[in-house]
Structure 1
Amino acid sequence: MYILIFFVAHWFLSLFFQTFYLHRYASHKMFTTNKFTERVFHFLTFIFQGSSYLNPRAYAIMHREHHAYSDTEKDPHSPHFFRDVFQMMWYTSKSYRQHARRLKEPEARFAGNTPEWPLIDVIGSTIASRLVFMGLYTWFYIEFATHWWMFLLLPIHFIMGPLHGAIVNWCGHKYGYSNFDNGDKSKNSTPFDFFMLGELFQNNHHRHPNNANFGAKWFELDPVYPVMKAMHWIRLIRIRKAYLA
């Protein structure tokens, strides 16, 4: 029981900060907040992504490239140019590392206005940090696992962040339905996207990339948006007025 609770908690907490902080804030600036709160979100992203921590600046640049070149040869992670999801993940990881290590100069329109915390970004990207988190996950499983098959979940903990991205990029541009003709192959993979916290409403998102609510139809529930509205009401963040409904 403890293992399953830990797995579900890690899955959704890691995913929440990826969609809330890396995607909706770092990449699109769907809301504003003060510097202290930004640092809190940044630190929590590091803690909950753990061994698969993604640098917000690198993530934002790559995601902006994805929107500009959606499903073309310049898209850093379109599933339509790869044989399988593993090949796409490998190519995406190479592109990410170039931005994270500043080995590749992005186009001016993709750079800037991204949250950076050099201390956390450097530590979180080191092999030592990733190994420490992996060791902590492994220790928890040794302590609380009651069946051998539970250990099969460990590799998912190790690559949680990139795995979430791969699911969204592969499924969200291959499977599902479309509400809008965006000139790309983005799809809404499911009308009830709790499993990926609204990230699989890719067709809606590509139509309105700065809208904090990824749902468009009445039945399309984006689980993160009500949380953001609550944060807005208590003045923890300020959602762009045009998209506050």
Structure 2
Amino acid sequence: MVIFIFFAATWYLSLFSQTFFQHRYAAHGAFTMSKGWERFFFIFTYITQGSSYMSPATYAIMHRLHHAHTDTELDPHSPSNSSNIFSMMWDTRTVYQQILHNRIPVEPRYTKNLPVWKSFDKFANSAISRLMWVVGYTLFFVAFATSPYQYLLLPIVISMGAFHGAIVNWFAHKYGYINFRLRNTAMNLLFVDVLMLGESYHNNHHKHPSSINFGKRWFEIDPVYYIIKTLSFIKVITIVNFPKRQPAIS
């Protein structure tokens, strides 16, 4: 039971950091926060994502490139450019590393208003940091696993971010339904987004990238939207982009 609780907590906390801090804040600037709170969420993201931590600034650049070049050869992660899900995720990793280490040129329009903490990111993205997390996860499983089958969850915990990315970037561009007709393959993957905290409403997101609410229809519940509203109410963040009022089907 402990392993399953740990796995669920890791899944949702890691995903929350991705969608709240790296995606909606860093990539799209849907809300603002003070430098102090920004540093807090840097650390919170590192703790919750562990060995699969991604630099918020690098994530933001890569995601902005995805929106600008969706389904083209310049898209850093698209099923249109890969023969299978594993090659797509490896290509994603390659682009991430190239941007992180300044190995490829990036146009200035993709680098505006990024959350930057270079010294922290240097450590958080280091091999020693990732190895420390892998050892820690493994020791946790050794201490609390009650069945050999529970160890099947360990690789997912170690590479949690890749699993989250694969669900959206592969499956939500191949399967699902649409609310908006777009010039790309983005679709809404789940009718009830219980596993992805709003992230699988991908068609909605490509229509309104900077909206704080990824859900558009009555059954599309985005729990992070309500967290954002709460954090705004208590003055932790300031919302910049409110949900647009317009028909969901167009």
TM, length-normalised to structure 1? 0.97
What are the equivalent positions in structure 2 for 1:81-230 lying under 5 Å apart? 81-230=81-230
1:142-192, CA deviations, whole angstroms, 9 ceiling, x for partnerless residues?
101000011111111111112211111011111100111111110001121
1:218 CA displacement? 1.5
Q: Match for residue 59 of structure 1?
A: 59
Question: Following the alignment from structure 1 to structure 2, what is the Cα–Cα distance between the partners of residues 46 and 112?
Answer: 22
Q: Distance in 1 between matches of 2:232 and 2:59?
A: 24
SS in structure 2 opposite 1:74?
Answer: coil
* 1:71-104 deviations in Å (ceiling 9; x for gaps): 1121110112211100100111100000111111
TM-score by length of 2: 0.95
Amino acid at match of 2:195: F
Moved more, 113-122 or 128-137: 113-122
* Residue matched to 1:24: 24
Alignment deviations for residues 115-165 of structure 1 (CA, whole Å, 9 cap, x no partner):
011122001111100010011101110101000011111111111112211
Report the CA distance between 1:244 and its aligned residue: 8.4
Cα 1:241–1:176 change in 2 (3 A) is closer
| Deviation (angstroms), 1:241 | 5.3
For 2:127 and 2:204, locate their aligned partners in 1 and report how far apart those are by CA, in whole Å. 37
- Alpha-carbon distance between aligned partners in 2 of 1:11 and 1:242, rounded to the nearest angstrom: 27
Q: Secondary structure at the match of 1:172?
A: helix
In the other structure, the counterpart of 2:11 is 11
Confirm or deny: 8 A CA contact 1:171 1:200 kept in the other structure.
no
Matched-pair contact (CA < 8 Å) for 1:16–1:224: yes
CA RMSD of aligned residues (A): 1.2
| Aligned 8 A contact 1:26 1:115 in 2 | yes
- 1:11 aligned partner, one-letter code: W
C-alpha displacement at 1:31, in angstroms?
Answer: 0.4
Q: How far apart are the structure 2 equivalents of 1:151 and 1:14?
A: 19
- Corresponding residue SS for 2:132: helix
Q: Find the aligned partners of 1:165 and 1:88 in 2 and give their Cα distance.
A: 10
**How many Å separate the matches in 1 of 2:149 and 2:242?**
48
Identity %: 49
Distance in structure 2 (CA, Å) of the matches to 1:180 and 1:167: 20
The residue type paired with residue 53 of structure 2 is Y
Secondary structure in 2 matching 1:243: coil
Give the secondary structure class of the aligned counterpart of 2:170.
helix
Task: State how far apart, in whole Å, the 1-side matches of 2:159 and 2:114 are.
Answer: 23
Number of positions where the alignment pairs a residue of Structure 1 with one of Structure 2: 245
Q: Which amino acid aligns with 2:103?
A: L
For the 8 Å contact 1:46–1:120, the answer to whether it is kept is no
**1:204–1:214 CA contact under 8 A, matched in 2:** yes
2:168 alignment partner AA = V
3-state SS of paired residue (1:238): strand
